Amino acid sequence: MDGLSSIFHSLSLRARLIFAGGLCGRWVIDHNSERAIWFHLLTKGTGWIHSPVWSEPLQVEAGDLILFLPHAQKHYLSYSASDLEPNAPDATTSHWWQGQSGLVCGLIEPGVSPAPIWQSLPAEIFIPRHQAGSILGQLIELIVAESVSERFGSFSVIERLCDGIFILAVRHCIEHQLVSEGIFTAIGDSRLERALTLLHQEPWHPWTLSELCARVGLSKTALTQKFDRTLKLSPMDYLLHWRMQIAADWLNETSMTIDKVAARCGYDSPSSFSRAFKRCLGIAPGQYRRSRSGTEHPLIPVPD
């Protein structure tokens, strides 16, 4: 398994389709998330993205794909370059063939909270149809075709097709040199990629710096310098952060108490686990759990 695949495998990414169909009237979509990735694929007509990132609203056309990562600034999608009416009475969803515009919208939700990983990617990833390349272009064509057909099971088929969108979007960013630092540049170094693959595949192994260096064939100084230059962390600090990201995911499970999470992470006491968790994520486990409870995303209703 290559380094990029090992990262995505450990994140347990999964697409959740929110809407696939047509839109009529003065529609505005307000989809922002602090944890998940929103993606929007225009399948028909024209739309506009309103974001502080662009000095003027960005026009999107059929076949264009836009992704907003959790660190993106607040944004909107609209039928108009100038008119924003979130509560316009004539904004309605419809079947694809009835809509003035067509959209496929959804969330890509990680099983593990990967905040440091997101930061190395552009907050907004816009891929015009003509820049999608062969593989992503074919995937987009399949999604659009399935959205248009509205056949039995189309919603589920589209949802599973969307699982690959983010991985291919990251590949697009790497190949178009839109990533200049962080973990996705580290995979260009074969020794560093090997070290990251080992840590991601075996996070609960009792790693020592000596063993990790032996496994990748580098001295302690050389591996530490590579981590510090690319990831701004030592190898063992990176491992600790990754373990705490996994622990954060476990804290989202109602059946997992803090004591159970601490034990599963190998800590002798909940207090020592809590200190490590707060040092890495800046918040105590109990506060983190409370902040995640009851969080909902704004949804577009799926047309009947």
CA distances from 40 to 18, 122, 251, 259, 269 (A): 10, 16, 29, 40, 44
Q: Is the pLDDT of residue 45 over 90?
A: yes
Q: What is the pLDDT, as a whole number, of residue 296?
A: 39
Nearest Cα neighbor of 65 from 84, 47, 82 is 47
- Whether the per-residue pLDDT at 298 is higher than 60: the answer is no
pLDDT of residue 109: 77
- 131 contacts 62 by C-beta, under 8 angstroms: no
Q: How confident is the model at residue 11 (pLDDT cuts 50, 70, 90)?
A: low
* Predicted local confidence at residue 113, as pLDDT: 58
Answer whether residue 10 shows pLDDT above 70.
Answer: no
For residue range 201-258, what is the model confidence (pLDDT) as tens digits?
888 899 999 999 999 999 999 999 999 888 888 999 989 988 888 888 888 788 889 9
Query: What is the mean predicted confidence (pLDDT) over 73-81?
Result: 92
CA 142 to CA 127: how far, in whole Å? 16
Q: What is the mean pLDDT of the segment spanning 174-200?
A: 82
d(CA 122, CA 173): 8
